[in-house]
């Protein structure tokens, strides 16, 4: 069975249980922490989780540590279940699929804002209001700082990008002058 089908099935089952137990937001929050920590150390995670010599208990501890505290009991039980099924190496894909289902159900768009410097909170609120008005969805902001933009920002909403950065405008001007 391919990894996509496995992760979808596990994520869908967890999502259904979390809905029934009224803890879907807590599981989502746990997976948000997990995916962030996973991406910070992806090589080490993959190596440990795929290693058949590493004990199940150690893999469970690693996954729980990546989720962090507080962790809802449903997620803790799910991690143990996944380990029992020897699917620990699929946990990242399961988490991503669960998060996708949660965002879809709650009308949340994953939105990345890249700026040259940290912006005032009011600016982020305006971006959220723009997303709400334009897409009729809440924005989950991932803010990144990139001084090479010089000024302005790049807004990436579900892989649709709006580049209002000084660096982007300079590149566009440079390309027009080349023609």
Q: How confident is the model at residue 43 (pLDDT cuts 50, 70, 90)?
A: confident
Verify that 112 and 99 share a domain, yes or no: no
Residue 169, token pair as written in the block: 């405008």
Cα gap 173→179, rounded to integer Å: 10
Where among 73, 104, 135 does a domain terminate? 104
Does the pTM of the predicted model rise above 0.75? yes
Share of the chain above pLDDT 90, in %: 64
- Rounded (10°) angle between helices 91-105 and 73-84: 140
Verify that 129 and 168 share a domain, yes or no: yes
Verify that 66 and 50 share a domain, yes or no: yes
Q: Estimate the share of the chain in helix, then strand, then coil, as percent rounded to the nearest 5.
A: 65, 15, 20
In this predicted structure, the answer to whether residue 34 has a pLDDT above a threshold of 90 is yes
Lowest mean pLDDT among 10-14, 94-98, 171-175: 171-175
In this predicted structure, the answer to whether residue 108 has a pLDDT above a threshold of 60 is yes
In this predicted structure, the answer to whether residue 21 has a pLDDT above a threshold of 80 is yes
Q: Which residue has the higher pLDDT, 158 or 35?
A: 35
Verify that 83 and 150 share a domain, yes or no: no
Verify that 69 and 139 share a domain, yes or no: no
Q: How confident is the model at residue 2 (pLDDT cuts 50, 70, 90)?
A: low
Verify that 92 and 159 share a domain, yes or no: no
Verify that 116 and 53 share a domain, yes or no: no
Task: Say which CATH number the domain at 60 has.
Answer: 1.10.520.20
Q: How much is the average pLDDT of 74-99?
A: 95
Verify that 136 and 76 share a domain, yes or no: no
Q: How much is the average pLDDT of 91-101?
A: 95
Q: How much is the average pLDDT of 13-29?
A: 96
Where among 104, 119, 136 does a domain terminate? 104
Which H or E run includes 142? strand 138-145
> Other C-beta atoms within 10 Å of 151: how many?
13
Cα gap 64→12, rounded to integer Å: 20
pLDDT of residue 27: 97
Task: Report the number of distinct structural domains present in the chain.
Answer: 2
**Domain that residue 71 falls in:** 3-104
Verify that 160 and 136 share a domain, yes or no: yes
Q: How confident is the model at residue 3 (pLDDT cuts 50, 70, 90)?
A: low
The pLDDT tens digits of the residues spanning 161-176 come to 888 888 888 888 888 8
Verify that 92 and 28 share a domain, yes or no: yes
Where among 104, 130, 150 does a domain terminate? 104
Verify that 136 and 93 share a domain, yes or no: no
pLDDT of residue 165: 83
Verify that 94 and 132 share a domain, yes or no: no
Q: How much is the average pLDDT of 61-88?
A: 94
Cα gap 137→92, rounded to integer Å: 25
């Amino acid at each position: 069975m391919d990894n996509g089908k496995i992760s979808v099935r596990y994520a869908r089952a967890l999502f259904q249980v979390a809905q029934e137990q009224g803890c879907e937001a807590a599981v989502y929050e746990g997976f948000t922490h997990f995916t962030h920590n996973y991406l910070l150390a992806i090589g080490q995670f993959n190596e440990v989780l795929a290693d058949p010599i590493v004990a199940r208990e150690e893999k469970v501890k690693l996954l729980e540590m990546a989720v962090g505290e507080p962790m809802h009991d449903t997620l803790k039980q799910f991690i143990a279940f996944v380990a029992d099924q020897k699917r620990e190496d699929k946990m990242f894909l399961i988490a991503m699929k669960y998060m996708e289902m949660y965002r879809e159900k709650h009308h949340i768009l994953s939105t990345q804002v890249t700026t040259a410097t940290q912006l005032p909170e009011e600016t982020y609120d305006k971006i959220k209001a723009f997303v709400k008005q334009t897409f009729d969805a809440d924005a989950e902001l991932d803010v990144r700082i990139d001084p090479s933009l010089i000024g302005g920002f790049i807004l990436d909403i579900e892989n649709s990008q709006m580049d209002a950065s000084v660096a982007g405008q300079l590149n566009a001007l440079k390309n027009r002058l080349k023609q």
